[in-house]
């Protein structure tokens, strides 16, 4: 499998997974299917859109490749319409959280790669990795009036940073691109998964007396 094909596959998967999470969240908030497609499209393509704008890569990727838009819409509607089934076998929140974790782990690597391809400094590539992973979910949650996952005490942005940093380090040492991408995404997913499973979190500031 070529590196280019792998990154294209990861890109489509990331868009679909984040859009799926948006559709699930829309169902939980009792939005209609049109609202679900809006929330899903924002979740699926928001991070990559911001990344391309910051790197000066215009038009943004989904304008010149509209198949990403169709992937986002499909993912959103699938998430929306299986919501009742998900509620029956587990909870919507569990499905949403794990789909979001998978999307985050993919996009932190894709965002870092985009920064490196643009010739940015490694620190900027790490930033584009974190922003790609977090921004779509951030806007998704804001739209439906939830506290964004990235702003909560749970480890989220830190997991994305670890994945992006691992990929940048592998790139610096000229390691195989496919192995580096999969390994770095796996690292981010494992960290996020442990945070979900074992309630890992960063300490938050509490007001005195509370």
The full DSSP string for 135-167 is HHHHHHHHHTT---GGGSSBSSHHHHHHHHHHH
Which is higher by pLDDT, 122 or 202?
122
**Residue 207's pLDDT band (cuts 50, 70, 90):** very low
205 pLDDT band, cuts 50/70/90, is low
Q: How many CB atoms lie within 10 A of CB 61?
A: 17
- pLDDT, residue 4, reads 84
What percentage of the chain's residues is helix, strand, coil (to nearest 5)? 80, 0, 20
pLDDT tens-place string over residues 111-158: 999 999 999 999 999 999 999 999 999 999 999 998 887 877 578 999
Tens digit of pLDDT for each residue in 39-72? 999 999 999 999 999 999 999 999 999 999 999 9
The β-bridge partners of 154 are 201
CA distances from 50 to 53, 111, 132, 160, 182 (A): 5, 10, 7, 16, 23
Domain residue ranges in the chain: 3-198
* Helix, strand or coil, per DSSP, at residue 147: coil
Residue 71 CB coordination number (10 Å): 22
Q: Are 14 and 113 in contact (CB under 8 A)?
A: no
């Amino acid at each position: 499998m070529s590196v280019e094909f792998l990154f294209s596959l990861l890109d489509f998967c990331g868009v679909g997974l984040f859009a799926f999470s948006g559709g699930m969240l829309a169902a939980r908030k009792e939005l209609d299917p049109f609202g679900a497609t809006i929330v899903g499209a924002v979740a699926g393509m928001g991070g990559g859109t911001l990344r391309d704008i910051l790197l000066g890569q215009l038009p943004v990727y989904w304008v010149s490749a509209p198949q990403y838009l169709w992937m986002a819409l499909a993912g959103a509607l699938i998430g929306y319409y299986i919501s009742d089934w998900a509620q029956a076998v587990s909870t919507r929140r569990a499905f949403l959280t794990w789909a979001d974790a998978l999307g985050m782990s993919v996009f932190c690597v894709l965002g870092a790669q985009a920064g490196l391809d643009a010739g940015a400094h490694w620190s900027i590539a790490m930033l584009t990795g974190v922003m790609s992973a977090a921004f779509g979910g951030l806007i998704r949650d804001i739209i439906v009036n939830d506290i964004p996952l990235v702003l909560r005490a749970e480890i989220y942005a830190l997991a994305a940073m670890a994945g992006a940093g691992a990929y940048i380090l592998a790139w610096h040492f000229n390691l195989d691109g496919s192995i580096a991408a999969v390994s770095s995404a796996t690292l981010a997913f494992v960290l996020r998964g442990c945070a979900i499973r074992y309630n890992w979190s960063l300490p938050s500031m509490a007001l005195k007396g509370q």
